[in-house]
Structure 1
């Protein structure tokens, strides 16, 4: 890593941590109802929404009731998005007259956006109407993000409360998170994006003349699109002159803001954040990377404040920051080193005043390797999936880093809510392991961790690897799965492994060399997305309910401190040993084998 890469990484981490504290304080005040925004400014609107929905804001829920509300609400979200995508040809705000999405494609997309995955196996600007983008996909960007935050707040209440049967009210949490946190922040970020050149309009697509006219011959077709043939049965050709280009328009900035802030990742355009209308400048790119992780980082501060010991939040934040910095070093170093096969061909990949050096394939020159590496790590450390480069063009070890970050459960800051509750699950496992070593009942934040909690921890940690490895196995053993591989060998296996890792962990990014727009992959990845999201959520809420019902115990001389450097090291060690080792055989067959092949000169 050269000086430029180091300075850009250090600047990003410093700005992120600096923003985490005010954002965390604001979210804490919103969620406990003490903020003036909640008490006065937004109160009339909030009360009106409860009245319309028939919600009693003072009635709290048990963990089972809370989980049922989460599942039913999100199941209705799947139906709503599916309806928009299947019926958009008859709905307004469709200036390009797009037809319906296929049943399997609409099902996959609906599950994807509801689970905060935003896995897109279609071309948005050529498939989805403005109304479907806004009322279907963008709305779910808000609601899926709010669901993740609500779940982690319920878990934190489990730590903070004692001898109580309830963990909050899902409808109140959902409303306040959307109304006071996501909507205002998304509005500000959207305006920043517009100032940088991100478009926001409802125009029809624009035809503009090209600088160069291209003439060629193409098969002639009839009104139904069938090839026209002459009397001898030979195809008839016609002269074609290409003198214009169609430029897609749309309400991009509003979707872009919540796409990043809610760690959703679904782009308005197929090129996602590599598209100049979604991400025009290095400054907009930097703001996008910040937007991905600012709420996950702030939630660590919320955790410390809500449990009454801010050091607990700082310890989790420190563990995440250390792991993030290491991942940035690995990713940027791998891409800056380039491909040694090019060096043997006398291609200079060194960094000079005249060239950036390294592996620039699949990257936007306006961002460079440092910002691309930061974006790649941030989007896969979080459950975001937005990309500003082609991940399929990364070096083998450059692809290894985002793949591993996803497989760890995206807990290095992670998705909004899901990252912190995933890391807290690993924290429970860490204190359990420590308790076994010293022969004491494990404790965390004043609560004893017993058999029931560890059963739920086991489910939360092992469910996604099960979905990833079983799904990958089915795909590589099935002709329907291997038919989508465009790069045979180790990289082709990595493409399938990445696809199911991304789906089950609700990331949404991909090694795009794999063709997944088929019924086989649409159904299989949708199953992985749904159970990867809500199977984990149910286990986390069960932990929250159990902890809330327990008494808070005082720390003794035998209690493991969970707010110092020793615990940070223990937490990171548990994360690597349990989270990473599950995937070692699969990673050895994919990116590791590809890297060894590359350095051996093949």
Structure 2
């Protein structure tokens, strides 16, 4: 236990060392002119010229949202075309066939929505060209889209006017100033610790038994870097970050965990700088971190306790539940990776979530259902701000005052939009799950009947709705039904909430700031942190507890 404790403390300290200066850097990258502008502007001017982008005028929320959707649709179309003809394109040493239409539909939506749900196996389903030109490209652009939305909302809360910025400018800055430099650093670190980076598709080796084995290779390190930094999660190999070429060493495991956590953890600090209330950034960070620690404690304790059935059979559980886990990581780092990848909605896995104990499996489900404990790049932070506004609104109602957040009055118009964004998430999880469990098309994919089978189905739709991408991989999901249904859920889960929160940003930026008075409810105090924590916890529990009872809780009770 103490070994795990000190490992966790060390990684948490590393996170803080990275997240705080990164938050300040991103504030400079998006909001201030100076050395950063002078360094990156020449590169950005070339991009603007090549893309035909001329105007740098700021946009209304409708124009911003329209530009976002246009860029994403164009990239979706190009990616779909490449995957459908990859067999005849170069850099296909593994002879990958063209993707089947429904699988292509699911894959391009999955990566453009920052979900990276993989109904294919990377090393056999894609060519090296597809891994680079489709998968890696969309990992950058989907993460940049999410960051742009977060910056637009922060801008609406920190400035007054009629516009929320320029999407194209925010999109390019997110790629050029944030994602690309960080990816170069992480790629170099991963290569140094043994992650392959090559254009060779295959390598033939002699085994210890004297046989011959062909191993898949490719530009793995560069994909791994943006996969985690962009909170994407799609693996170069089907085994994802449990594969020794993706994650060969405990140190690469730490690098990958910090990579997927650092940008979501840094955004509260960026926000604090932008609104000139750094304490408020700390309150948001602390609330998310406390929720994270509670969830991590549950999954670690459940996995360390092991399978309750072993005790009934007279077997020892001293080693904990090592099924589906890599020995080189053990239970502590596997549990931490599980908590980070589902709180930061990355979806990368270094262990099999389907092999977690029932209560251990409840944790990633709950984190994705909440979808605001750090969350993915940009969009996760937007979600916690949405809950902060709900907390302010409820607090205002209780004391009979018009709710205010950063000097902006939160009125019925904003609350209606926030409620739409709030209700979409459970709706697109629970309704498709119920339909799948009622139909043969859905139930035929279940590999483990009973309560665990319910968890497999609910996990698939929760992962899709939260733009996470991990799965209870016992589900046989590469069928037209699952490809199309999860594709639609990913689209709705990504873009409906983005549009709703951009509309909130457009409404807030026009409001005349209200000066603070003695009666103003402050949102930069520990009291507000407790209220925010309670709001997230209560709304999440009321919404999802019944389905968790039917899945992991019922499974746990049956094997006790």
**The two structures share one fold, judged by TM-score above 0.5:** yes
Contact persistence 1:117–1:385 (CA under 8 A): yes
Map of 2:509 onto structure 1 = 548
Matched, 1:382 2:341: no
Give matches, 1:438-517, under 5 Å: 438-517=399-478
* Residue aligned with 1:566, SS: helix
Matched, 1:104 2:102: yes
Matched, 1:186 2:183: yes
Find the aligned partners of 2:395 and 2:471 in 1 and give their Cα distance.
37
Map of 1:302 onto structure 2 = 270
Give matches, 1:214-253, under 5 Å: 243-253=211-221
* Gap change, CA 1:402 and 1:35, over 3 Å in 2: farther
* Residue aligned with 2:207, SS: strand
| Aligned counterpart for 2:317 among listed residues 349, 356, 362 | 349
Structure possessing the higher radius of gyration over alpha carbons: 1
C-alpha displacement at 1:250, in angstroms?
0.4
| Aligned counterpart for 2:166 among listed residues 141, 164, 169 | 169
Matched, 1:332 2:300: yes
C-alpha displacement at 1:385, in angstroms?
0.3
* Residue aligned with 2:205, SS: strand
Find the aligned partners of 2:168 and 2:184 in 1 and give their Cα distance.
22
Find the aligned partners of 1:369 and 1:192 in 2 and give their Cα distance.
24
Find the aligned partners of 2:206 and 2:92 in 1 and give their Cα distance.
24
Find the aligned partners of 1:324 and 1:291 in 2 and give their Cα distance.
17
| Aligned counterpart for 2:365 among listed residues 403, 408, 412 | 403
Matched, 1:11 2:7: no
Contact persistence 1:5–1:332 (CA under 8 A): no
C-alpha displacement at 1:471, in angstroms?
0.8
Map of 1:202 onto structure 2 = 199
* Residue aligned with 2:90, SS: coil
| Aligned counterpart for 1:394 among listed residues 338, 343, 356 | 356
Map of 2:19 onto structure 1 = 20
* Residue aligned with 2:209, SS: strand
TM-score (norm 2): 0.99
| Aligned counterpart for 2:391 among listed residues 426, 430, 437 | 430
Map of 1:159 onto structure 2 = 157
Find the aligned partners of 2:56 and 2:238 in 1 and give their Cα distance.
44
C-alpha displacement at 1:57, in angstroms?
5.0
* Residue aligned with 1:420, SS: helix
C-alpha displacement at 1:345, in angstroms?
2.4
Map of 1:83 onto structure 2 = 81
Matched, 1:589 2:550: yes
Matched, 1:370 2:332: yes
Unaligned runs of 5+ in 2: none
* Residue aligned with 1:211, SS: coil
C-alpha displacement at 1:211, in angstroms?
2.8
C-alpha displacement at 1:90, in angstroms?
1.4
Map of 1:238 onto structure 2 = none
Find the aligned partners of 1:280 and 1:52 in 2 and give their Cα distance.
39
Map of 1:216 onto structure 2 = none
| Aligned counterpart for 1:128 among listed residues 126, 129, 141 | 126
Contact persistence 1:108–1:526 (CA under 8 A): yes
Find the aligned partners of 2:25 and 2:526 in 1 and give their Cα distance.
27
* Residue aligned with 1:245, SS: strand
Find the aligned partners of 1:339 and 1:53 in 2 and give their Cα distance.
56
Find the aligned partners of 2:156 and 2:425 in 1 and give their Cα distance.
23
> Which string of whole-angstrom CA distances, capped at 9 and with x for unpartnered residues, describes residues 180-226 of structure 1?
1100000000110001110000113122233337xxxxxxxxxxxxx
Contact persistence 1:382–1:415 (CA under 8 A): yes
Find the aligned partners of 1:167 and 1:178 in 2 and give their Cα distance.
19
Find the aligned partners of 1:119 and 1:340 in 2 and give their Cα distance.
31
C-alpha displacement at 1:344, in angstroms?
2.6
TM-score (norm 1): 0.92
Map of 2:222 onto structure 1 = 254
Find the aligned partners of 2:391 and 2:16 in 1 and give their Cα distance.
24
Contact persistence 1:116–1:506 (CA under 8 A): yes
C-alpha displacement at 1:55, in angstroms?
2.3
Contact persistence 2:28–2:36 (CA under 8 A): no
> Which string of whole-angstrom CA distances, capped at 9 and with x for unpartnered residues, describes residues 273-300 of structure 1?
0000000000000111101110011111
Contact persistence 1:165–1:549 (CA under 8 A): yes
Contact persistence 2:227–2:235 (CA under 8 A): yes
Contact persistence 1:93–1:129 (CA under 8 A): yes
Find the aligned partners of 2:51 and 2:118 in 1 and give their Cα distance.
32
* Gap change, CA 1:578 and 1:388, over 3 Å in 2: same
Question: How many residue pairs end up in the alignment?
Answer: 560
Find the aligned partners of 2:151 and 2:389 in 1 and give their Cα distance.
16
Map of 1:64 onto structure 2 = 62
Matched, 1:413 2:374: yes
> Which string of whole-angstrom CA distances, capped at 9 and with x for unpartnered residues, describes residues 246-273 of structure 1?
2001000000000000000000000000
Find the aligned partners of 1:595 and 1:12 in 2 and give their Cα distance.
30
Contact persistence 2:334–2:351 (CA under 8 A): yes
C-alpha displacement at 1:35, in angstroms?
4.3
Map of 1:36 onto structure 2 = 35
> Which string of whole-angstrom CA distances, capped at 9 and with x for unpartnered residues, describes residues 531-557 of structure 1?
100000000100000000001111112
* Residue aligned with 1:42, SS: helix
C-alpha displacement at 1:454, in angstroms?
0.2
Deviates more, 1:487-496 or 1:44-53: 44-53
Find the aligned partners of 1:46 and 1:446 in 2 and give their Cα distance.
34
* Gap change, CA 1:120 and 1:35, over 3 Å in 2: farther
Unaligned runs of 5+ in 1: 214-242, 351-356
Higher helix fraction: Structure 1 or Structure 2? 2
C-alpha displacement at 1:46, in angstroms?
1.1
Map of 1:226 onto structure 2 = none
Map of 1:218 onto structure 2 = none
